């Protein structure tokens, strides 16, 4: 059995970015850039007023200035004024080249229709966003590997960019195994349980803007082999749930071997999720997650999420982590690393009640894991621990 650190290293070494595609900026959410983006224009591309007010030349600030023109946002005609004159101006308007300062209208007065500046703190250049103050044409706007979020979409659009080169996002199938599983919405018979893992994993994938295909398969060797064979053909990533332990009805490992999947690791010294499997074919990566829901989701966040990010070419594939003081001491067995469902207010961290590998009640309230490696036996109150943010 390998350690968590080794398992993570195997994932990091084995997973490579998918092919590069071009997507429109509006469809680029959650993709990662496959090339540096250079600014095609300066932003702003002209000296821009940051306020509703008046523009003028700073030298003439002491005088009463006749207001000789107006520039609204979007006006493109050239307006020039002399020293000792002012222009009515608005937020976002182009500041005439002959003006170097804007005063906000709240700090002015009009006397006989002439402008009197009442802003004692006003400096030359005040209230003007200089051309290129955000970014200059030709400069690096965004680096390869950056994940595209709402602000990135805005920034790219600001630059007038309509499409970008990104690494493709993986196509994913989830196969859930288990004769005991019943879809919510149906009547449960004694001994059956509601199937939750596919909904849960789909939700986690949807957050990454991935829509998986979902397949349910009974605990049957041939059926499992067939479902795996089809999924391997058509996907970049196959996630299995359940059937990977050592029970008499656990056929997943055998069925993966049957389909020629190369095992990279099986079983990790961790809690929850010991029977985690990771393998690959030429075309498809495969994770087989334990069926216990909290174990499945823990393994998803700790390993599958990282693999997806690596496929997407992300610069930061793992969960973000912090070191924070634990608010209550905890004892743990040596020999197995543990991911505890926990809640953090970003100052301290609390391990939640209910750490069983089947328990989602606590997971539903968690916003992080506390990670204790296999050597740790005890952590005292206020001791610093490693926190992985979900």
Do residues 284 and 235 touch, judged by C-beta distance below 8 A? yes
In Å, how far are 204, 243, 312, 337, 361 from 178, measured between CA atoms? 21, 7, 31, 27, 22
CB of 356 to Mg ion, least distance (A): 17
Dist CA 114 CA 127 (whole Å): 20
Contacts of ligand AMP in 275-294 (CB under 6 A)? 290-293
Q: Does the protein bind ligand AMP through residue 178 (CB under 6 A)?
A: yes
User: Per CB under 6 A, which region of 14-22, 39-47, 68-76, 236-244 contacts ligand AMP?
Assistant: 236-244
* H-helix or E-strand spanning residue 54: strand 53-56
Q: Which partner in ligand AMP, Mg ion, none is near 263 (CB below 5 to 8 A by kind)? A: none
User: Which residues are near Mg ion by CB under 5 A?
Assistant: 178, 242-243, 291
User: Which residue's CB is nearer to ligand AMP, number 96 or number 273?
Assistant: 273
Q: Which does 176 bind (CB under 5 to 8 A by kind): ligand AMP, Mg ion, none?
A: ligand AMP
Q: The tokens 């821009």 sit on which residue?
A: 48
The token pair that represents 133 in the structure block: 């103050």
- Residue 156 or residue 176: which is nearer to ligand AMP going by CB? 176
Size of site (CB under 6 A) for ligand AMP: 18
Helices (H), 118-274: 150-158, 197-206, 221-234, 252-258
Q: Which stretch binds ligand AMP (CB under 6 A): 150-158, 188-196, 223-231, 380-388?
A: 188-196
* CA 173/CA 67 separation, integer angstroms: 67
Binds ligand AMP by CB under 6 A, chosen from 181, 288, 368, 385: 181
* Residue 40 sits in the site that holds ligand AMP (CB under 6 A): no
Residues whose CB falls within 8 Å of the CB of residue 114, separated by 6 or more in sequence, listed in order: 64, 65, 66, 67
Question: Does residue 176 bind ligand AMP (CB under 6 A)?
Answer: yes
| Cα–Cα dist 153/207, whole Å | 17
Euclidean distance between CA atoms 198 and 289, whole angstroms: 11
Tell me how far, at minimum, the Cβ of 253 lies from Mg ion, in Å: 12
Euclidean distance between CA atoms 322 and 370, whole angstroms: 10
Task: Tell me if 348 contacts ligand AMP by CB under 6 A.
Answer: no
Instruction: Compute the distance between CA of residue 306 and CA of residue 203 in angstroms, rounded to an integer.
Output: 16
Exactly one of 173, 197, 309, 344 binds ligand AMP (CB under 6 A); that residue is: 197
Rounded CA separation 65/84 (Å): 6
**CA 100, CA 57: separation in Å to the nearest integer?**
5
By CB under 6 A, is residue 192 in contact with ligand AMP?
no
Indicate whether 180 belongs to the interface with ligand AMP (CB under 6 A). Answer: yes
Q: Going residue by residue from 245 to 264, which x/- string records binding to ligand AMP, judged by CB under 6 A?
A: x-x-----------------
Torsions phi, psi of 252, nearest 5?
A: -65, -45
Residue 245 near which of ligand AMP, Mg ion, none (CB within 5-8 Å, type-dependent):
ligand AMP
Nearer to Mg ion, 143 or 179 (CB): 179
Nearest distance in Å: CB 40, Mg ion? 55
Residue from the set 242, 272, 279, 313 that interacts with ligand AMP by CB under 6 A: 242
DSSP for residue 267: -
For ligand AMP, the closer CB: 144 or 269: 269
Number of H helices, E strands in the chain: 7, 28
Does residue 193 belong to the site contacting ligand AMP (CB under 6 A)? yes
Binding residues for ligand AMP, rule: CB under 6 A, are 176, 178, 180-181, 193, 195-198, 241-243, 245, 247, 290-293
């Amino acid at each position: 059995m390998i350690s968590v650190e080794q398992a993570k290293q195997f994932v990091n070494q084995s997973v490579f970015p998918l092919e590069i595609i071009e997507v429109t900026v509006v469809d680029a959410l959650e993709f990662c850039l496959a090339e540096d983006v250079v600014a095609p224009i300066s932003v702003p591309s002209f000296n821009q007023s940051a306020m509703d007010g008046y523009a003028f030349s700073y030298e003439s600030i002491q005088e009463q200035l006749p207001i000789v023109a107006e520039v609204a946002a979007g006006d493109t005609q050239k307006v020039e004024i002399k020293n000792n004159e002012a222009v009515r101006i608005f937020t976002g308007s182009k500041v005439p080249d002959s003006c170097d300062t804007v005063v906000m209208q709240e700090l002015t007065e009009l006397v006989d229709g002439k402008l009197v500046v009442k802003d004692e703190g006003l400096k030359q250049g005040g209230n003007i966003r200089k051309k290129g103050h955000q970014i200059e044409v030709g400069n690096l706007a965004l680096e390869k590997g950056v994940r595209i979020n709402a602000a990135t979409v805005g920034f790219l659009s600001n630059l007038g960019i309509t499409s970008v080169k990104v690494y493709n996002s993986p196509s994913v199938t989830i196969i859930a195994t288990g004769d005991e599983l019943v879809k919510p919405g149906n009547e449960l018979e004694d001994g059956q349980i509601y199937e939750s893992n596919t909904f849960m994993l789909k939700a986690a994938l949807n957050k990454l803007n991935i829509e998986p295909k979902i397949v349910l398969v009974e605990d049957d060797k041939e059926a499992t082999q067939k479902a795996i064979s089809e999924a391997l053909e058509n996907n970049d990533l196959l996630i299995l749930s359940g059937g990977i332990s050592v029970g008499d009805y656990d056929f997943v490992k055998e069925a993966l071997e049957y389909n020629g999947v190369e095992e990279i690791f099986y079983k990790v010294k961790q809690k929850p999720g010991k029977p985690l499997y990771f393998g690959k074919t030429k075309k498809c990566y495969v994770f087989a997650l334990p069926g216990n829901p909290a174990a499945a989701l823990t393994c998803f966040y700790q390993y599958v999420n990282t693999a997806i990010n690596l496929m997407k070419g992300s610069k930061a594939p793992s969960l973000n982590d912090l070191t924070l003081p634990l608010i209550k001491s905890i004892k743990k067995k040596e020999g197995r690393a543990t991911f505890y469902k926990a809640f953090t207010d970003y100052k301290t961290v609390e391990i939640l009640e209910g750490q069983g590998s089947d328990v989602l009640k606590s997971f539903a309230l968690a916003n992080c894991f506390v990670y204790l490696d296999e050597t740790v036996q005890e952590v005292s109150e206020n001791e610093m621990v490693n926190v992985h943010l979900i």
